[in-house]
Amino acid sequence: MASQTAFFGLFLYLLLGAHYTGEDYIGSTVQRFFHFDPLLALITIVSARLVYAYFAFALITVAATVLFGRVFCGWVCPLGAVHQFSSFAFKRTKVLKPPREDKASLAPKYYILVIVLVGAVLGLDLAGYLDPLSFLTRSLAVSVLPALAQALAGLSGALYGIGAVGLARSVSQALQNWTINTTFVQGFSVGLLFLGAIGLNARKERFWCRYLCPTGALLGLLSRWNLLKLRIDGEKCIKCGLCTQHCETQAHPYPNETWKSGECVYCMNCASICPTAAIGFPLGARFEKLANVSNVDLSRRKLIVTTLAGLAAAPFFRLTPSRKRASLKLIRPPGSLAEDKFLAKCVKCGQCMRACPTGGLQPVLAEAGPEGIYTPKLVPKIGYCEYYCSLCTQVCPTGAIKKLTVEEKNKVKMGSAWVNKSRCIPYVLGRPCIVCEEHCPVSPKAIKLVEVETKLPDGTVAVQKGPVVDLDLCIGCGICENKCPVMDDPAIFVTSVGETRSPTNRLLLDISAGAADDPYK
């Protein structure tokens, strides 16, 4: 459908644009999509207990849904477009043969929604895992685009191999221009989940939209009053049942009374497949009972049980030491809020990881506890924080990473660097190095050189310049760790202690100065 293609194209264009384009400030990119998402708006506002003005855009989606049903799902949602296209492909190739009538329960997504809502009330932001925009952005940013970039790099190599130098060069130069990072620690798992979500369409058309999507569920609940209700012209209808068989989301158009406005995404399959053109969506105000919105018996009892289950499950998320003591290697992007607030806001979309020009921002697996899976952390060994860059702070859709100018960002400390004197070349081998010092971007440098005496194996003493860190100046950008010639376990490394965002993970105490320039206050 043209609208879906257009929105998917726009989404992809904005996502590709979320990188270093040559400008220090890139303006609004794909995060604008997120602001139209009522689930992310609701969950972020509830879990962070803070209303974000950006999310006013979500009211547009709410209004559209109330008036016209789940048109967002069928016409706008880029993940919906992916699912619809892959379902179509599976149907065309006869991998998927839709049954005459599908009776599977559509309830799971509503229960997922309830659990996400309960989590939000308790300050957990679980929306990002299954929200379609978050899921798609994360999958593309951390897995699909990197894989494509790798493939293109391989293609470029092959082109050089066959002598097509000009073409090969164009490809490789373009890849550098797009600054697509190709190394992600969780790229494989995120990619598998994405392929899995697509693969599910081989079992049921738009499996995700039918059974899993909490955003779809929320919009479904809002759509019961909508003005576009399906009507079958009883005189024309030949009761062939094709409409129900080919309904993408199991909304059950035939017989007319069984149609579920909360499931219909207005894909118009039923209307176009109907051999007698008996199906239409005339304008008309007609309320429906909640039970009729979906075929789900969303009984009070089941809702209460799910809510209780959510309440019971939430504390398990909190059984993590990361709430007591900061994690050593959990170096958050510059501008990140204090950990509890950060977790309440981050929707795990991975846009910061897409924007990072060095590829240092990586999805977390374990360091931040179960609610922190796929949140970002800086892994200096993979990529450091570029001194004059504040792109990650600009693309964050929820403000989990506060928007900072480059000047503001340069005052933020992400962590502190430490010299491992039992691995550092001058200290251990008695040979010159100074690589960390020359890369230190702050002026005056946070890494100073002092004369170091080293006893060599033959008993002689070597004197070389060895690095010492001035923690007052160090911002924890990690370029020293990244460039250290000791490849496996760098002899200078960054840990999170001293990070500006944390009131407890502190090291240098300047009590007399008071709380001076905390950029988040």
Partner 1 sequence: MKRRDFMTGVAAAGLALRFGPRPLAAQAASMGPLPALAAVEGESPAAITREAIAVLGGMGKFVAKGDKVVIKPNIGWDRTPEMAACTNPEVVKTLVELVLEAGAKKAVVIDNTTNQAKRCYVRSGIQEAVKQAGGDMLFVDDYRVKKAALKGEWIKEWEILLDVVESDKIINVPIAKHHSLCRLTLGGKNWLGAVGGARNQFHQDLDKAVVDLAAFFKPRLTVLDAYRILVRNGPQGGRVSDTELRKTVVAGTDPVAVDAFGCSLFDLAPRDLPYLALARERGLGEFDLEKVRVEKRKI
Minimum distance, C-beta of residue 448 to partner 1, in the bound complex (Å)? 10
Cα(128)–Cα(374) distance, integer angstroms: 9
Minimum distance, C-beta of residue 176 to partner 1, in the bound complex (Å)? 4
H or E element that contains 134: helix 132-139
Cα(295)–Cα(284) distance, integer angstroms: 22
Please state whether the peptide bond connecting residue 490 to the residue before it is cis, i.e. omega within 30 degrees of 0: no
419: β partners: 492
Pick the closer one to partner 1 by CB: 173 or 299. Answer: 173
Minimum distance, C-beta of residue 11 to partner 1, in the bound complex (Å)? 23
H or E element that contains 408: helix 406-409
Strand locations in 171-240 (E):
231-232
Cα(368)–Cα(327) distance, integer angstroms: 7
Reduced to 3 states (helix: H, G, I; strand: E, B; else coil), residue 377 is: strand
Residues that bind partner 1 (CB under 8 A): 20, 22, 153, 156-157, 160, 168-169, 172-173, 176-177, 179, 357-358, 386-389, 425, 429, 431-435, 437-439, 441-445, 449, 465, 483-485, 487
Pick the closer one to partner 1 by CB: 99 or 157. Answer: 157
Reduced to 3 states (helix: H, G, I; strand: E, B; else coil), residue 513 is: coil
Four-CA torsion 324, 327, 328, 330, nearest 10 degrees: -150
Pick the closer one to partner 1 by CB: 6 or 151. Answer: 151
Q: In which residue are the tokens 């702050």 written?
A: 442
Minimum distance, C-beta of residue 430 to partner 1, in the bound complex (Å)? 10
Minimum distance, C-beta of residue 175 to partner 1, in the bound complex (Å)? 9
Minimum distance, C-beta of residue 508 to partner 1, in the bound complex (Å)? 21
Pick the closer one to partner 1 by CB: 31 or 358. Answer: 358
Residue type, 245: Q
Minimum distance, C-beta of residue 464 to partner 1, in the bound complex (Å)? 10
Tokens of 258: 């069984």
Pick the closer one to partner 1 by CB: 22 or 284. Answer: 22
Tokens of 49: 């207990």
Pick the closer one to partner 1 by CB: 313 or 435. Answer: 435
Pick the closer one to partner 1 by CB: 461 or 487. Answer: 487
Q: Which residues of 438-472 are buried (b: 16+ CB within 10 A; e: fewer)?
A: ebbbeeebbbebeebebeeeeeeeeebebbebeee
Pick the closer one to partner 1 by CB: 252 or 445. Answer: 445
